[in-house]
Structure 1
Amino acid sequence: MIFFYSPQRGQKSFRFQIERWYVEKKLGEGGFGAVYRVRDQTGQYALKVEGVDEKVQVLKMEVFVLTELAARGGRHFTRIEDKGRFGNFNYVVMTLVGRSLQDLRKERPTQCLTLACALSVGIQCLEAIEDLHGIGYLHRDVKPGNYTIGRPELRELRKIYILDFGMCRKFTNDQV
């Protein structure tokens, strides 16, 4: 069920609820949909939505890949909490992560990471790709904006996550 609340004076958008998820804030928007920070009784999560009429259904691929990675013990991936269709959109609720490597690098005065940090981040980024290839998928959109750190309040600042599997494609051994 979805509920809409009237905006308070000065607010630009409505607050709403989808099933048990209370939408708190829009985090971003892209060509295929939008991402929101949501909350339920257990904590905060990320909600990705896309219209059911989209020609390319990227959430379907995202859910499939993340489900397979979870079954194989993937090390650097968000966990799916909920998924479904509501009205005219599909949605998936997953682990809320921290800021992207792209944003973190841009904040640095030199726009560079320290050697120790770069090595740790690089190793974890490669581990994520290795796990993805291990289940037979190519990411096809590897970039600093699709890697994030964990959330500070969960003490995950040194953990790297890879995101955005909508462009993934399965490969076979004869394609390698």
Structure 2
Amino acid sequence: MPIVGWSLDKIRKDVLNGAQFSKQTAIKICVQTLNAVRDLHDIGFLHRDLKLANFAIGIDKPSHETIFMLDFGIAKRIAGDDGIIP
């Protein structure tokens, strides 16, 4: 079962305390974040509240850090029952 930690917003504000992610880490975060958005769109939904507070770093396999998308409270289905996006 995945373990989800702090949001990217909390890490940026409290953990990094003004410092920046390394370029390599920033690229990993961007790629995983965009993949999460793409995967959500692929199943016919829009998140509608994308921000750092709604993404968190977690572990989905032993020692494998992953970005998780959070808070689907205002997400909206954009595809019909046939899977077609109007």
TM-score, normalising length: structure 2: 0.78
For residues 77-125 of structure 1, give each alpha carbon's deviation from its aligned partner in whole angstroms, at most 9, with x where no partner exists: xx7xxxxxxxxxxxxxxx5411111111112143421111110000000
- Between the aligned residues of both structures, percent identity stands at 36
CA RMSD of aligned residues (A): 1.8
Higher strand share: 1
Partner secondary structure for residue 68 of structure 2: strand
Aligned to 2:56: 148
Structure 2: tracts of 5 or more residues without a match: 80-84
Task: Indicate which of 31, 54, 57 corresponds to 1:123.
Answer: 31
Structure with a larger share of its residues in helix: 2
Corresponding letter in the other structure for 2:74: M
Residue deviations 1:4-25 (CA, integer Å, cap 9, x gap): xxxxxxxxxxxxxxxxxxxxxx
Which of the pair has more CA radius of gyration? 1
Runs ≥4 residues deviating over 4 A: none
Asked if residue 168 in structure 1 is aligned to residue 75 in structure 2, the reply is: yes
Give the C-alpha shift of residue 159 in structure 1.
Answer: 0.9
CA distance in 1, matches of 2:58, 2:26: 16
Secondary structure at the aligned position of 1:112 is classed as coil
Correspondence list, 1:67-86, <5 A:
none
2:9 corresponds in structure 1 to 102
SS in structure 2 at match of 1:161:
strand
Structure 1 residue identity aligned to 2:71: D
